[in-house]
Structure 1
Amino acid sequence: MAKSTSRKPRPSRKKDAEVTPVLPQPSSPSLLRWFFRPGTLMLTAAIASVWILAPVIVRQLPKLDARPEYRVSPGQITINPPPRWIPPDLVAQVFERAEFGDSESLLDETLSERIAAAFYTHPWIENVRTVRKSFPAHLTVELVYREPVAMVKGVDGYYPIDRNGILLPPADFSIADIERYPVIERVASVPMGKLGEPWGDPVVEGAAQLAAVLNKQEGDQPSWWKQLEVKSILVPRRVALADSADSLEYQLETVGGSHILWGRAPNTRHPGELTVEQKLQRLAEFHSDLGFDDEHGPYEIDIRPWHGIGRGRLAKEESDGRQQL
């Protein structure tokens, strides 16, 4: 009979490895030795000295923005050559209006922006293109100047305006300057804004557009209003609040008292209106052939019809009324 045999598990030859906790080791003295080296101590002392003494040193340094070569006054600002109607003290006016001090620091990061804003708000300036800094203290400013195109006749004097109807400083003009520009008459309104702002009346705005056209020159030729011997622009006598600017019609008065029925303002989009070029051509040809004034006048000359120009004697009430204005 076969004997059953069974094997007992043999005991493991290796005992389970015991887990030994990692104990903190005593600090190495090498770090302390490194720190207390002469070179390390000197570097640490230098850093601490700079940290402590830096504010004191900075306070002792000279302030550059107080030095003359860093101060910008009106005399250190150059603008592109202005036309004759711009006042010679424009830069000084800008400083005064902006309430700047006697001078400003070239090192001020906001200086260019503040100078540009100060010029832009002056009534004679239409736009500021660039402001450039340079050393020693100097600014170069490139400007777009406003140009007067007409004088609005008011009850208390004459008001200069540009092509957009912007009110310009009357104090910068003499009585003799009035003759340099067409006069806009019959204006019933007064300026709604300040100097450098729109007049605020569509009648004046349209008249300003027409004055800008008459002030244009072709080459060496005189301006249109001088060639055609026009002295004033007559605005509509009565304007209802409901009337649109595009419905307003203007007249020109010649030096001899004749009235030219011009029609709507140059910027009109009315489909039945002649173009500005067509009107100017008609006026030039008529003035060359017949003239606007003679001993039988004054006349009413209508250049608006498409079929041609009409001319008749100016109504007596128009002529008499004109003399009373």
Structure 2
Amino acid sequence: MPRSSKRSSRKRQSLHQRMVGWMFRPTRLSGVAMLLMAWLCWPILKGQLPDLEDREEYRVTAAQVTVNPPPRWVPENVAEKVFDRAGFDESLSLLDPRLNEKVAVAFHTWPWVEQLVQVRRTWPAGVYVEVVYRRPVAMVEVVGRGYLPVDRHGHLLPEKDFSPADIDRYPLIGRITTVPTGYQGESWGDPAVAGAAQLAALLTEEHDGRSLWQSFQLKRILAPRRLSVASRPDQLQFEIETNGGSRIVWGRPPGTQHPGELSVEKKIARLAEYQR
């Protein structure tokens, strides 16, 4: 056999011996045995460990959810109502990786929430939630159903949260021939309701504790008598009825870019002149 082949064979044997010697040292064999034993015993050990999810300090109830304070028109006990509506158990686990997601969905779908700003965990066990609440701006007159509240976007609000006395506190929206197509917290589905709600939001905005609606003694916003389902709110012409029964042509709702339409400021100035 050539010398070079003999030297290569001896090198391979030497490398093999070193590897075997490194792997089968007593300390390394002991470490491998301990890891194998831990792996085999883990199911048993896991069953003996305390379940942290059941411990009180790792549970979150509605009372431990802090929400930014609601305005006066939103029902009290916001977190409790959200938990009840979402069908949550008495408490949620703070260790649940989807906790924030579950709380976020529950608040986002609550009819009184217009926008979810943030959800974050706090310690000790708790959750902080910040939302933008919906503001009721009008009551829609619906034949056979009475008066249904809507926000500034024309989204339906829970009627059970309003009393009969609230009907006189908000502008009325008349000549509506449709019924809501969505659930509470969702769009009415009628461009006339959306446009009238925009107008009501403008006129009920308070300045120094009083709104233009109150100052001008207005009562009802009247939708167009005829409109297409495909119509956009900014294409519709609205009238306003005063407490005395007079009617004022307002025109298109705020925000319209229609050529020749008077600005909101000029329309308000005309309303002021009419009241003199």
- TM class by smaller structure: 0.7 to 0.9
Q: Distance in 1 between matches of 2:230 and 2:28?
A: 89
Q: Distance in 1 between matches of 2:244 and 2:25?
A: 106
2:221 corresponds to which of 211, 230, 233:
233
Q: Which runs of 5+ in 1 are unaligned?
A: 1-17, 291-325
**CA 51–191 in structure 1, closer or farther in 2 if over 3 Å, else same:** closer
User: What pairs with 1:21-32 in structure 2 (closer than 5 Å)?
Assistant: 21-22=5-6
State the match for 1:310 in structure 2. none
State the match for 2:184 in structure 1. 195
- Structure with the greater alpha carbon radius of gyration: 1
Q: Distance in 2 between matches of 1:30 and 1:270?
A: 85
Q: Read off the aligned partner of 1:180 and give its amino acid letter.
A: R
Q: Read off the aligned partner of 1:208 and give its amino acid letter.
A: A
Q: Distance in 2 between matches of 1:202 and 1:100?
A: 36
1:168 aligns with 2:140: no
1:43 deviation in Å? 4.1
State the match for 2:199 in structure 1. 210
Q: Distance in 1 between matches of 2:19 and 2:223?
A: 99
Q: Distance in 2 between matches of 1:149 and 1:103?
A: 35
Q: Read off the aligned partner of 1:258 and give its amino acid letter.
A: S
Q: What do residues 22-63 of structure 1 show as CA deviations (whole Å, max 9, x unaligned)?
A: 2565986996699465x5565454344333333322221111
Q: Distance in 2 between matches of 1:110 and 1:183?
A: 43
User: What pairs with 1:263-282 in structure 2 (closer than 5 Å)?
Assistant: 263-282=251-270
Q: What do residues 177-201 of structure 1 show as CA deviations (whole Å, max 9, x unaligned)?
A: 1121111112111111111111111
State the match for 2:211 in structure 1. 223
Q: Distance in 2 between matches of 1:50 and 1:78?
A: 42
1:186 corresponds to which of 175, 179, 195:
175
Q: Read off the aligned partner of 2:167 and give its amino acid letter.
A: I
Aligned residues: 269
Secondary structure of the residue aligned to 1:171 is helix
1:87 aligns with 2:75: yes
Secondary structure of the residue aligned to 1:149 is strand
**Kept in 2: contact 1:187–1:235 (CA 8 A):** yes
Q: Read off the aligned partner of 1:68 and give its amino acid letter.
A: E
Q: Read off the aligned partner of 1:201 and give its amino acid letter.
A: D
1:266 deviation in Å? 1.3
Root-mean-square deviation over aligned CA pairs: 2.5
Q: Read off the aligned partner of 1:279 and give its amino acid letter.
A: K
* TM-score (norm. length: structure 2): 0.88
* TM-score (norm. length: structure 1): 0.75
**Kept in 1: contact 2:190–2:229 (CA 8 A):** no
| Identical residues among aligned pairs (%) | 49
Q: Distance in 1 between matches of 2:112 and 2:197?
A: 16
Q: Distance in 2 between matches of 1:90 and 1:234?
A: 34
1:74 deviation in Å? 1.0
**CA 283–53 in structure 1, closer or farther in 2 if over 3 Å, else same:** same
1:135 deviation in Å? 2.2
1:57 aligns with 2:45: yes
- Judging by fraction of residues, say which structure has more helix: 2
1:176 deviation in Å? 0.9
**Kept in 2: contact 1:253–1:259 (CA 8 A):** yes
Q: What do residues 183-237 of structure 1 show as CA deviations (whole Å, max 9, x unaligned)?
A: 111211111111111111111111111101111122x141110010001111122
1:108 aligns with 2:91: no
**Kept in 1: contact 2:23–2:29 (CA 8 A):** no
Q: Distance in 2 between matches of 1:135 and 1:196?
A: 32
State the match for 1:133 in structure 2. 121
**Kept in 2: contact 1:69–1:135 (CA 8 A):** no
